[in-house]
Amino acid sequence: MENDAWMLTAEERGNDATRLDRRRPDGAAWSDGNNVRPLVHGATYFAELLRAIRAQRAGDLLLFTDWRGDPDERLDGPGSEIGAVLAAAAERGVVVKGLVWRSHLDRFQFSEAENRHLGEEVAAAGGEFLLDMRVRPGGSHHQKFVVLRHPDRPELDVAFVGGIDLCHSRNDDASHRGDPQPLQLAAAYGPNPPWHDLQLAIRGPAVGDLETCFRERWQDPAPLTRSPLVRLREFLNHEDVHADSLPPQGPDPAPCGTARVQILRTYPNRLLRGYDFAPDGERSIARGYRKALRRARALIYLEDQYLWSPRVVQCFAEALSANPRLRLIAVVPSFPDQDGSVSLPMNLVGRVAALNRLREAGGDRVAVYGLENHAGTPVYVHAKVCVIDDVWASIGSDNVNLRSWTHDSELSCAVLDDSRDPREPHDPGGLGDGARGFARNLRLELSREHLDREHREEQEPDELCDPARAFDAFARSAAALDSWHRNGRHGPRPPGRLRPYRSPQMSRTAMALARPLHRVLVDPDGRPFLMRRRNDF
């Protein structure tokens, strides 16, 4: 297999201004020799993040980006509030720098005040925290990653990347009873919404790539906002609006694993003055998916918060149409996070259209599920994961929709493990790529949780390795649990947490009214005009 069969080349990224693809002498647009581990659930991630931050000392570097940050969110019990943990690191002499989306106003159910208060706590301790509104109108900075560097102890260097914000509702575990510090979601999720999510822990040269991503945003000379009103508020609140210099970037950590990692991103096309490091935007997440999907032959396993927009799922539909044995399993929220009379229809209409398109292409080879915990409460699926043929995996902040692929800032990691998995089938796709350890083990870990199956050793045979048998196992489990609910929950509850996702019924009138709101407010398009016309990325 050629190195670029699954990964984007520097030319295919489509952004000559970024330093990402000029960092290595060979010009490779990815790094080799990484150790990559999935941290499933916020509780798993938060506990590991807490240990890593507390191990830092004077002169170390802590860089983080976020969509929302709640300073009082506990990482692992009392005394581990994220604001206090970051402040304590800064007081020890750790160089702490944060970039968090400024957010829209709180009266629209966003996080303006929380993000500002987190920054105040960090800044008071000697760190630096910028509220970044360098986005398109109605857009957000949605990246969620943390980079920890240790100049005199490079073996400790690590980066965390994925979909988990440093905020309320994220600290859930495999039991899915919810975070004790919840955010309110739609009524179906109850007072403590169960939350399914994922982050990666990465060690090796890719940590240097992620540090570069942070530095590009930190050093962007554009002002943090273009809004005169926001600038006035910055002045009145005495906010820091100028990024101080960072210490020089050190050498990349040494290779320590078998995974190739490529950093994929979305930056929108901004009118007038764009990003210094992406003048025309960047859509390498969309391009990375489209390239990988062209090699899909056996199974696309997807977990996604949204999965909407027919224009985005078209590349999935094309793969299903072109390959008659290709199957798709998607795990999504059973209900949108908002259930208002206006917000609910404009959230549903995009998913209805997207799933119709997928089912037109794949028929009964497309299976979509929601999750519930053992008490029967729906689990909100916030994960952003894709595994193709147990070869290529992507984990990040991006969802399968136009907003994530074109409009907001996003960051994802595509992982291709050089280590082949010895279990059958050895080559699910039949293209000679061979099943890879990371991708297969990630899919199996997630599948076993949803099916309530016991953990197995990584090399132990498992029927779920076979794409067709895994597809059928999901269907049987969901059908059994659905039948138990329909029959009044009599007898023992069947194992598993999967429920078949049923597309809501919407009248033509409701869809016609909701569609413009969906396109403008929920799922806007950040591409240049000609790209929109061609539906190109």
CA dihedral 455, 460, 461, 466 (to 10 degrees): 60
246/212 Cα distance (integer angstroms): 12
DSSP code, position 486 = H
Please give the average per-residue pLDDT across 525-533, as a whole number: 91
What local confidence, expressed as pLDDT, does residue 510 receive? Answer: 87
Nearest to 419 by CA among 302, 534, 260: 260
Please give the average per-residue pLDDT across 226-253, as a whole number: 88
Q: Compute CA distances 230 → 119, 134, 239, whole Å.
A: 16, 12, 11
Please give the average per-residue pLDDT across 235-244, as a whole number: 85
The one-letter amino acid code at 159 reads A
Which residues, in sequence order, are bridge partners of residue 36? 202
The CATH number of 282-534 is 3.30.870.10
Please give the average per-residue pLDDT across 7-26, as a whole number: 95
Please give the average per-residue pLDDT across 71-82, as a whole number: 97
Please give the average per-residue pLDDT across 213-227, as a whole number: 94
Residue 505 binned pLDDT confidence (cut-offs 50, 70, 90): confident
Question: In this structure, what are the phi and psi dihedrals at residue 291, rounded to the nearest 5 degrees?
Answer: -70, -45
Answer yes or no: are the C-beta atoms of 404 and 410 closer than 8 Å: yes
Nearest to 204 by CA among 250, 146, 159: 159
Given a cut of 60, whether residue 181 has pLDDT beyond it is yes
Residue 110 binned pLDDT confidence (cut-offs 50, 70, 90): very low
Helix 437-451 and helix 467-486, axial crossing angle in degrees, nearest 10: 20
Given a cut of 90, whether residue 20 has pLDDT beyond it is yes
Pairing, β 385-388 against β 392-396: antiparallel
**34-243+250-257 is classed in which CATH architecture?**
2-Layer Sandwich (3.30)
436/434 Cα distance (integer angstroms): 6
What local confidence, expressed as pLDDT, does residue 518 receive? Answer: 92
Please give the average per-residue pLDDT across 297-317, as a whole number: 96
For residue range 311-323, what is the model confidence (pLDDT) as tens digits? 999 999 999 999 9
Number of H helices, E strands in the chain: 14, 18
What local confidence, expressed as pLDDT, does residue 113 receive? Answer: 64
Residue 21: CA count within 13 A, CB half-sphere: 20
Answer yes or no: are the C-beta atoms of 506 and 352 closer than 8 Å: yes
Domain with CATH 3.30.870.10 in the chain: 34-243+250-257, 282-534
Q: How many CB atoms lie within 10 A of CB 287?
A: 18
What local confidence, expressed as pLDDT, does residue 114 receive? Answer: 63
Given a cut of 70, whether residue 106 has pLDDT beyond it is no
Pairing, β 498-500 against β 378-381: unpaired
Determine which of 210-214, 303-307, 494-498, 526-530 has the lowest per-residue pLDDT on average. 526-530
Please give the average per-residue pLDDT across 109-124, as a whole number: 73
Given a cut of 60, whether residue 425 has pLDDT beyond it is yes
Residue 271 binned pLDDT confidence (cut-offs 50, 70, 90): confident
For residue range 437-478, what is the model confidence (pLDDT) as tens digits? 999 999 999 999 999 998 777 777 789 999 999 999 999 999
Residue 158 binned pLDDT confidence (cut-offs 50, 70, 90): very high
Q: How many CB atoms lie within 10 A of CB 44?
A: 21
Residue 342 binned pLDDT confidence (cut-offs 50, 70, 90): confident
If you search the block for the tokens 């990224």, which residue do you land on?
Answer: 13
Residue 1 binned pLDDT confidence (cut-offs 50, 70, 90): low
What local confidence, expressed as pLDDT, does residue 228 receive? Answer: 84
413/183 Cα distance (integer angstroms): 27
Which residues, in sequence order, are bridge partners of residue 95? 61
Distance of alpha carbon 308 from its chain centroid, rounded?
15
Please give the average per-residue pLDDT across 68-86, as a whole number: 96
What local confidence, expressed as pLDDT, does residue 108 receive? Answer: 43
For residue range 128-156, what is the model confidence (pLDDT) as tens digits? 999 999 999 999 999 999 999 999 999 99
For residue range 37-46, what is the model confidence (pLDDT) as tens digits? 999 999 999 9
What local confidence, expressed as pLDDT, does residue 2 receive? Answer: 60
What local confidence, expressed as pLDDT, does residue 248 receive? Answer: 97
Pairing, β 327-331 against β 145-149: unpaired
Note the helical H segments in 323-436.
343-362, 402
